[in-house]
Structure 1
Amino acid sequence: MINGALYQTTATDIKKNILAGNYEVGALIPTENQLEKMYGVSKITIRKAVELLVAEGYLQKKSGIGTKVISNNLFNKLSKAKSYASIVNEHGTLTKTILKIKLVSPTATPFEASDQKVLYIKRLYTLNGQPFIIFEHYLPNIAIQSELKELRHRSLYKILKDSGQEINHFKDTFKAVRLDAADQKVLQSANGLAMKRQRQGFDRAGNLIEFSIAVYDTNKFPYEIDYEV
Structure 2
Amino acid sequence: MKRKKLLYADIADDIRKNILNGIYAVGEQIPTENELEEKYNVSKITIRKAIEILAVDGYVEKKSGKGTTVISDRLFNKLSKAASFSSIIEMNGHKLRKEIIAIEEVQTINEDDDIQKTFKDKAYKLTRIYYLDGEPYIYFEHFLPVLGTIEALKQIESVSLYKWLAEFNKNVGRFQDSFEVVKIEESVKEKLNIAHTHLLKRVRKTVSTTNEIIEISHAIYDTSKYPYIIDYEV
Q: Under TM normalisation by the shorter chain, which class is it?
A: 0.5 to 0.7
| Percent of matched pairs sharing the same residue | 35
Select 2:138's aligned residue among 101, 116, 133: 133
Please tell me the residue identity of whatever aligns with 1:99: I
How far off its partner does 1:169 sit?
2.2
Alpha-carbon offset, residue 103 of structure 1: 1.9
Q: Which residue of 2 aligns with 1:200?
A: 205
Q: Distance in 2 between matches of 1:74 and 1:111?
A: 28
Which AA in structure 2 matches 1:221? Y
Shift of residue 73, structure 1, vs aligned partner: 6.3
The residue type equivalent to 2:216 in the other structure is: F
Change (3 A) 1:218 1:198: same
The corresponding residue for 1:211 is: 216
Instruction: Spell out, residue by residue over 1:95-120, the C-alpha distance to the aligned partner (whole angstroms, 9 max, x if none).
Output: 00011112222333414575664221
Identify which range, 206-215 or 141-150, moves more after superposition. 141-150
Is contact 2:118-2:213 (8 Å) kept? no
For 1:206, give the aligned amino acid. N
Change (3 A) 1:73 1:153: same
CA 1:192 to 1:166, structure 2 compared with 1: closer, same or farther past 3 Å?
Answer: same
Which structure 2 residues correspond to residues 141-220 of structure 1 after superposition, within 5 A?
141-144=146-149, 146-220=151-225
The CA deviation string for residues 191-222 of structure 1, in whole angstroms up to 9 with x for no partner, is 23210011112224432211110000111000
TM-score (norm 1): 0.63
Letter in 1 for 2:187: A
| Distance in structure 2 (CA, Å) of the matches to 1:154 and 1:111 | 27
Counterpart of 1:105 in structure 2 is 107
Structure 1 residues 141 and 191, CA gap change in structure 2 (3 angstroms): closer
Conserved? CA contact 2:175–2:206, under 8 Å: yes
Contact 1:111 1:140 in 2 (8 A): no
Amino acid across the alignment from 2:99: T
> Paired residue for 2:230?
225
Max Rg structure = 2
Q: Say if 1:73 and 1:155, in contact at 8 Å, map to a contact too.
A: no
How far the C-alpha of 1:150 sits from its partner, in A, is 3.4
- Find the residue that maps to 1:107 and give its secondary structure: helix
Deviation by residue 1:1-47 (Cα, 9 ceiling, x = unmatched): xxxxxxxx9xx85x646xxxxxxxxxxxxxxxxx99xx7xxxxxxxx
Summarize the Cα distance change of 1:147–1:166 in structure 2 as closer, same or farther, 3 Å threshold: closer
Measured in 2, the distance between the counterparts of 1:137 and 1:128 equals 23
* TM-score between both structures, scaled by the size of structure 2: 0.62
- CA RMSD after TM alignment: 2.9
What do the CA deviations read for 1:139-169 (whole angstroms, capped 9, x no partner)?
Answer: 1141238544334323111111111211222
Helix, strand or coil at the partner of 2:108: coil
Residue 7 (structure 2) aligns with = none
Aligned to 1:53: none
Shift of 1:178: 2.0
Structure 2 segments unaligned to the other structure (5+ residues): 1-14, 29-57, 59-72
**CA distance, structure 1, for counterparts of residue 204 and residue 123 of structure 2:** 16
CA shift for structure 1 position 93: 1.2
